[in-house]
């Protein structure tokens, strides 16, 4: 290698910063639309990266800079950070307090969730490429994004497919068909999304099929709880198995972070979570409904829950490429109920726990993408500088995400557009005080656990079946199954090439459809 020192582009370069802000707005809209209408979010990295590639093809000098893979990587980092930040880390916790009927807790929860998400992403920045979270480990979505970026850099046509997908997605959505879910069906796990589609159809037609609305008997909620508990066991087994194999094989390359860094990160992280949990408890007025001892234990327990949940989610993301954020938050909620915390304290506890993990996992994927693009850590100085710039890009995404949530949360909530898992959390809180609800939840948890166990950890059948059951949107179920049939046909005829094209087209459908949905359905622009 020559001795010329490589300089990594800055996330604060005017061109990069402006595009990152624009992409973060788009990412936030995609995240909020998907989580409220479909109960799921998807990785939007590829959308940001391909838009950067499209811009680079416009013959303007400033835009030419985006031909650089490292700049494209900063853009994908910002958009995906904003998507998971807005939807999973910030809006989802707020939805819990809304469903509990505690509007006075919306602002405290928003502040708490935002700060928790910032600590969350800072923790993976400190811990990435340590012994616990080595860069060499899979982080599957990170590899997928890097491969797509590298392939798209070679093939310009691929970026145009995104544009066609966006136009088609927008038109189809305008006609009333949720094209975004078709896009998700072209990207995600076929088995999981088939179960999601079946769940949507069963919920939509249950009164006609069974003569009863399954929601009244808390079937979706119970199935989700059963599936969530099994998912947690599955992921703990995966983590312990992988950790053992790493120990046996020992890492064969030098890490960029030391044991001291691990200790420092965990100590600092826990300390910061403790401070935020205390602030959240004070802002939420929890001291009025609890004894002094219980109040102190609440914020200590909340900090422990945040840290443990974050590490389980992060390890799961690294090994398996998906994260059980619902399952981990649910476990701590159940523990909180057993400890006798009152309902408002439980709402803030589950929101705070759910806020940690998504940003950690997402930034782990983004750092893995960057690590591959930067040459897999061969130039350590360049690698560390790249990570720092990605951290700034991710932070940009999160700041925009929390601003978007602050601006539009009431618009969603007033239309009863709440992340479906929030209904499960609230049903669980109510079950603590109602034997009737508790009976239904326990009864339905059994089939949920069985379906999740049969599907195994890779497919997440139980979790996605339950997510579908939570949403009354039968046309989305039909759309999913039709999209999956198209995907199977295309991959049979065109193999890997066909799947790659669907991957990009699907990303376009998601972007176009959610944008149209946001302006026409959520903001009701153009509607009388």
Q: How many CB atoms lie within 10 A of CB 100?
A: 20
pLDDT at 339 over 90: yes
Query: Which segment of 11-15, 102-106, 213-217 scores lowest on mean pLDDT?
Result: 213-217
Average confidence score pLDDT of the chain: 93
User: pTM of the predicted model, to two decimals?
Assistant: 0.94
More confident position, 231 or 324: 231
pLDDT of residue 190: 95
pLDDT at 224 over 70: yes
Counts for the chain of helices (H) and strands (E), in that order:
21, 0
pLDDT at 253 over 80: no
pLDDT of residue 242: 75
pLDDT of residue 235: 86
Task: Quote the Cα angle for 51-56-58, to 5°.
Answer: 105
The pLDDT-based confidence of 252 (bands split at 50, 70, 90) is: low
Residue-range domain boundaries for the chain: 14-241+264-522
Q: What is the mean pLDDT of residues 234-238?
A: 87
State phi, psi for 156 to the nearest 5 degrees.
-65, -30
pLDDT in tens, 293-313: 999 999 999 999 999 999 999
pLDDT of residue 1: 42
pLDDT of residue 306: 97
Supply the angle between the helices 358-373 and 292-320 in degrees, to the nearest 10.
30
pLDDT of residue 319: 87
428 contacts 434 by C-beta, under 8 angstroms: no
pLDDT in tens, 125-139: 999 999 899 999 989
pLDDT of residue 248: 53
The pLDDT-based confidence of 163 (bands split at 50, 70, 90) is: very high
The pLDDT-based confidence of 527 (bands split at 50, 70, 90) is: low
60 contacts 114 by C-beta, under 8 angstroms: no
98 contacts 418 by C-beta, under 8 angstroms: yes
pLDDT of residue 152: 80
pLDDT of residue 458: 80
97 contacts 343 by C-beta, under 8 angstroms: no
The pLDDT-based confidence of 290 (bands split at 50, 70, 90) is: very high
């Amino acid at each position: 290698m020559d001795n010329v020192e490589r300089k990594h582009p800055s996330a604060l370069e005017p061109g990069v910063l402006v595009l990152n802000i624009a992409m973060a707005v788009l990412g936030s809209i995609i995240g909020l639309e998907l989580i409220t209408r479909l109960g799921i979010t998807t990785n939007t990295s590829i959308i940001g990266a391909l838009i950067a590639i499209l811009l680079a093809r416009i013959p303007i000098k400033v835009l030419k800079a985006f031909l650089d893979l490292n700049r494209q990587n900063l853009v994908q980092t910002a958009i995906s950070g904003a998507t998971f930040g807005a939807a999973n880390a910030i809006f989802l916790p707020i939805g819990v307090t809304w469903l509990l009927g505690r509007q006075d807790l919306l602002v405290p929860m928003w502040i708490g969730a935002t700060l928790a998400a910032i600590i969350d992403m800072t923790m993976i920045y400190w811990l990435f490429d340590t012994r616990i979270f080595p860069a060499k480990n899979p982080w599957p979505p990170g590899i997928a994004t890097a491969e797509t970026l590298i392939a798209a850099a070679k093939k310009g046509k691929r970026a145009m497919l995104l544009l066609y997908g966006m136009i088609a997605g927008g038109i189809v959505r305008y006609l009333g068909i949720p094209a975004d879910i078709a896009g998700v069906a072209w990207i995600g796990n076929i088995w999981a999304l088939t179960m999601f589609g079946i769940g949507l159809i069963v919920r939509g037609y249950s009164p006609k099929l069974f003569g009863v609305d399954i929601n009244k008997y808390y079937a979706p909620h119970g199935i989700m709880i059963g599936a969530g508990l099994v998912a947690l066991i599955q992921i703990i087994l995966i983590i312990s198995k992988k950790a053992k194999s790493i120990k046996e094989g020992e890492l064969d390359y030098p890490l960029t972070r030391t044991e001291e860094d691990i200790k420092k990160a965990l100590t600092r992280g826990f300390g910061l979570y403790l401070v935020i949990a205390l602030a959240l408890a004070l802002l939420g007025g929890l001291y009025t409904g609890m004894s002094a001892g219980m109040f102190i234990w609440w914020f200590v327990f909340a900090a422990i829950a945040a840290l443990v949940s974050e590490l389980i989610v992060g390890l799961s993301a690294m090994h398996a490429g998906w994260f059980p954020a619902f399952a981990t938050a649910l476990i701590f909620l159940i523990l909180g109920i057993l400890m006798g915390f009152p309902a408002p304290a439980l709402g803030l506890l589950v929101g705070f726990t759910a806020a940690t993990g998504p940003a950690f996992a997402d930034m782990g994927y983004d750092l893995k993408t960057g690590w591959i693009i930067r040459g897999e850590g061969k130039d350590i100085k360049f690698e560390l500088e790249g990570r720092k710039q990605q951290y700034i890009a991710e932070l940009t995404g999160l700041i925009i995400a929390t601003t978007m949530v602050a601006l539009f949360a009431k618009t969603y909530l007033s239309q009863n557009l709440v992340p479906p898992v929030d209904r499960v959390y609230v049903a669980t809180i109510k079950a603590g005080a109602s034997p009737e609800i508790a009976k239904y939840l326990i009864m339905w948890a059994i089939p949920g656990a069985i379906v999740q166990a049969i599907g195994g950890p890779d497919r997440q059948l139980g979790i996605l079946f339950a997510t579908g059951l939570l949403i009354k949107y039968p046309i989305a179920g039909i759309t999913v199954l039709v999209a999956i049939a198209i995907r199977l046909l295309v991959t049979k005829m065109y193999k890997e090439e066909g799947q790659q094209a669907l991957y990009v087209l699907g990303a376009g459908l998601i972007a176009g459809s959610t944008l149209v949905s946001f302006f026409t359905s959520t903001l009701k622009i153009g509607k009388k």
